[in-house]
A and B are shown apart, each in its own frame.
Chain A
């Protein structure tokens, strides 16, 4: 007997929906085994990560955090998913996120302490433009010179991180900060503060932006010509060219849009939950968003759900760190594992497992 893969004529509808769920279940099982190997009670650890933030004793505090952590992930992942669908790989969202935050904070610090209504919208604009510009670098280089956008966008993450450090220690340092690194805290500057729209709900402008992005992407992909071209380029590049799709324009659009969305996410973060430009401002949302995009099947609604799930693992992971002493790295690995299993399970979407009774004739 022999197991064999047989290509399906079309991707299985059922498995498109089932495989992310199955991947989550397998990750829980293997993750539980991992936690057990670390000497923790696996059931308790998994329950702490997935149950505690939603229905535990302190859920009233954690539930808003779900929006705070989920919004940047969803915002970035929506942008990434457009490119991933078209076969354009922007993996430098972390850098675009940083530059967006720096641009937004730069505007705020330039206007400080002016109290005017236009400061925050201007910051949002600057954040989006900053991220857009950072995303356009790999796009233009790809178009003009044929450089690989994967490598360039990733290199720019490291450049952005150094720039962040330079800014936090240099030009953007708080003049009243008694020499400590980091900028002024924007939470203390009302005109620039991205505060909760309803106090204590976690619902800040970034969450609104994420919601708008999900809806816009849904309409774009399902109802708009450009969305059709994006999908076509990914699924059948040759056919796309015959259909008159301009790959160059598509590259510019996908990398630019994902850059702008990542930049926006960074700006909302620096003016809200984070509050200031500091050396360790970025926490890897740009990379986790890659997992979110795949887990959500590159579909806007799926991404929204996946983003919330990933936010849950962040929050639950923090609780598990505090309560059970689970190392932070274990959660990072847990998230990486999720993508692994998803990719592995995904084979069932495009292929059918067949059990051959007889060895095939040679």
Chain B
């Protein structure tokens, strides 16, 4: 065992990257849940985004187009969920599970020819001056573009919910869909838009996994990250800022356990690999006392009857 081999600066820097997929998926799901929809299909959309992004990046040789493809793939899949819950008025929980099961099958079907293929590398931004600051430079300013896109998305979502009219409508729909409907807002359309946004974010997060984090395609590679993202939304009490905090916490745990594995700690690898899931449960236990923040219409089916 050699703990001194763990470099704290590199550790902190990799937390930023490790938290990005989960941050993207969670911020998308936050919007979905604020609109009153519970989409348990994050895992399925994420892995579909992972393979779509991967295949397109390999096909075009451009990671940027790959990321767009991942987002589109996730959004398209989420529209199936929208169709089920918003048009066919199916139960949210069951539909979300169906989406995850379907997405896992779809992704492994699409991914057949891509096992062992290397994706085109995603360049790291070389930010002049800022990147050269000792300590802070490597931690904050030496990442690829997607890390900053994710952070910008969090800031955007926060501002949108807090200050914009669109955010107000979204929250109204999520808190009381009957009242929002009575006021003339198109509940179903708002929700479909929110679901598609959530799907795109999850797809983007998945593409980040397959193109940057791992970077390769393996079946079932999301390994529960989508579910952790769902837990993160609860942890964050449906607030954008806290999602960021939570994502860093989970990024930190997963990076730390990987580092401990590499350093050869005398704990079997399997027990270390359990830790992110166990910690998710612990955090859920701690945070679940306060349920008052959940959108009041979360998971309820809306049917405009005359």
Write the residues of chain A forming the contact surface with B, with a CB cutoff of 8 angstroms: 5, 7, 89, 91, 141, 145-148, 150-152, 154-159, 162-163, 165-166, 169-170, 287, 290-291, 294, 327-337, 339-340, 343-344, 346-347, 350-351, 360
Does A89 contact B105, Cβ atoms closer than 8 Å? no
Assembled-state Cα–Cα distance A360/B274 (Å): 57
B223-249 vs A, CB cutoff 8 Å, 1 = contact: the mask equals 110011011001000000000000000
B101 touches A335 (CB 8 A): yes
B285 at the A interface (CB under 8 A):
yes
Docked-complex contact B289 and A151, CB < 8 angstroms: no
Residues of A close to B93: CB separation below 8 A: 89, 150
Q: Do A343 and B88 have beta carbons less than 8 Å apart?
A: yes
* A154–B88 CB distance below 8 A: no
Partner of B291, one of A7, A146, A163, A165: A146
Is B39 on the interface with A (CB-CB < 8 A)? Answer: no
Main secondary structure of the interface of A (DSSP, over half): helix
Given contacts A151-B234, A344-B90, contact A335 B105 (CB under 8 A): yes
A337 with B102: CB separation less than 8 A: yes
CA distance A157 to B278 in the complex (A): 11
Are B284's CB and A148's CB within 8 A? yes
Q: B108–A329 contact, CB under 8 A? A: yes
Do A347 and B90 touch across chains, with their CB atoms under 8 A apart? Answer: yes
Taking CB atoms, residues of chain A closer than 8 Å to B234 are: 148, 151
Contacts of A91 in B (CB 8 A): 97
> How far apart are B280's CB and chain A's nearest CB, in angstroms?
5
Contact yes or no, B224 A141, CB < 8 A:
no
Whole-angstrom CA separation of A146 from B230 in the bound complex: 16
Q: Are B224 and A158 in contact (CB under 8 A)?
A: yes
Beta-carbon contact of B268 and A166 below 8 Å: yes
Q: Which residues of A contact B99 (CB under 8 A)?
A: 340
Contact code string B248-270 (vs A, CB < 8 Å = 1, else 0): 00000000000000000000101
Whether, in the assembled complex, B162 has its beta carbon less than 8 Å from a beta carbon of chain A, the answer is: no
- Tell me whether A343 and B288 are in contact (CB under 8 A): no
Show 22 A/B contacts (Cβ-Cβ < 8 Å), sorted by A.
Answer: A7-B305, A145-B285, A148-B284, A151-B284, A155-B224, A155-B231, A155-B277, A159-B278, A169-B270, A170-B268, A287-B101, A294-B94, A329-B105, A329-B108, A329-B112, A339-B101, A340-B98, A340-B102, A343-B90, A343-B94, A344-B90, A347-B89
B: contact size bracket? 35 or more
B141 to chain A, nearest CB (A): 34
- Please give the distance in Å from B283's CB to the nearest CB on chain A: 10
Q: Is the CB of A333 within 8 A of B105?
A: yes
Give A291 to B99 CA distance when docked, in angstroms: 12
B 166-204 to A, binary, CB cutoff 8 A, 1 in contact else 0: 000000000000000000000000000000000000000
| Cβ of B109 under 8 Å from chain A | yes
Contact B224–A154 (Cβ < 8 Å): yes
Q: Please tell me if the beta carbons of B271 and A162 are within 8 angstroms of each other in the complex.
A: yes
Beta-carbon contacts of B102-114 to A below 8 Å, as 1s and 0s?
Answer: 1111101101100
**Chain A: minimal CB distance from B132 (Å):** 41
Q: Which residues of B contact A169 (CB under 8 A)?
A: 268, 270
Name the B residues within 8 Å of A157 (CB-CB): 224
Q: Does B80 contact A (CB under 8 A)?
A: yes
User: Looking across the interface, which residue of chain B has its beta carbon closest to that of A290?
Assistant: B97
A360 to B306, CA, bound (A): 10
B303 touches A155 (CB 8 A): no
With A169-B270, A329-B109, A332-B105 as contacts: A344 and B88 at CB distance below 8 Å: yes
Within the complex, the shortest CB–CB distance from A109 to chain B, in Å, comes to 18
**List of B residues within 8 angstroms of A89 by Cβ:** 93
Most buried by A among B88, B98, B224, B280: B98
Write out the residue numbers on chain A whose beta carbons fall within 8 Å of the beta carbon of B98: 291, 336, 339-340, 343
Give Cα distance in the complex from A147 to B291, angstroms.
9
* Docked CA distance A287–B43 (Å): 14
- Chain B residues near A163 (CB-CB < 8 A): 270, 274
Q: Are A154 and B102 in contact (CB under 8 A)?
A: no
Structural contact, B281 and A340, CB atoms closer than 8 A: no
B84 within 8 A of A: yes
B78 on interface, CB distance cutoff 8 Å: no
Query: In the complex the two chains form, what is the Cα distance from A146 to B234 in whole Å?
Result: 12
Given contacts A159-B278, A343-B95, A347-B88, 16 further A-B contacts (CB under 8 A): A150-B40, A151-B231, A151-B280, A155-B224, A155-B277, A166-B268, A166-B271, A329-B106, A329-B219, A332-B105, A336-B98, A339-B98, A340-B98, A343-B88, A343-B98, A344-B84
Asked whether B60 is an interface residue with its Cβ less than 8 Å from the other chain, the reply is: no
B164 within 8 A of A: no
Instruction: Kindly report which residue of chain B lies nearest to residue A336, judged by CB atoms.
Output: B102
Task: Tell me if A148 and B288 are in contact (CB < 8 A).
Answer: yes
Determine the distance from Cα of A5 to Cα of B231 in the docked complex, in whole angstroms.
34
| CB-CB nearest in chain B for A84 | B94
* Given known A145-B285, A147-B284, A152-B284, contact A290–B303 (CB-CB < 8 A): no
Q: Check: B136 CB closer than 8 A to any chain A CB.
A: no
State the Cβ distance, B81 to closest chain A Cβ, in Å: 9
Q: Which residues of A contact B306 (CB under 8 A)?
A: 360
Q: Say whether B109 contacts A166, CB under 8 Å.
A: no
- Chain B CB within 10 Å — which of A145, A148, A290, A332 has the most? A332
Alpha-carbon gap, A290 to B228, bound state (A): 20
Residue pair B270, A147 in contact (C-beta under 8 Å): no
Interfacial chain B residues near A162, Cβ < 8 Å: 270-271, 273-274, 277
The answer to whether B84 and A330 touch across the interface, beta carbons within 8 angstroms, is no
Q: Does B83 contact A (CB under 8 A)?
A: yes
Chain B min CB distance to A353 (Å): 11
Question: What is the minimal beta-carbon distance from A232 to any residue of chain B, in angstroms?
Answer: 18
Interface residues of B in 50-94 (CB under 8 A from A): 80, 83-84, 88-91, 93-94
Q: In angstroms, how far is the closest chain A Cβ from the Cβ of B139?
A: 29
5 smallest beta-carbon distances between A and B, as pairs: A333-B105, A336-B102, A332-B105, A166-B270, A329-B108
User: How far, in angstroms, from A5 to B303 measured CA to CA in the complex?
Assistant: 9
| Complex: A155 Cα to B234 Cα, angstroms | 14
User: What residues on B are CB-neighbors of A154 within 8 Å?
Assistant: 224, 227
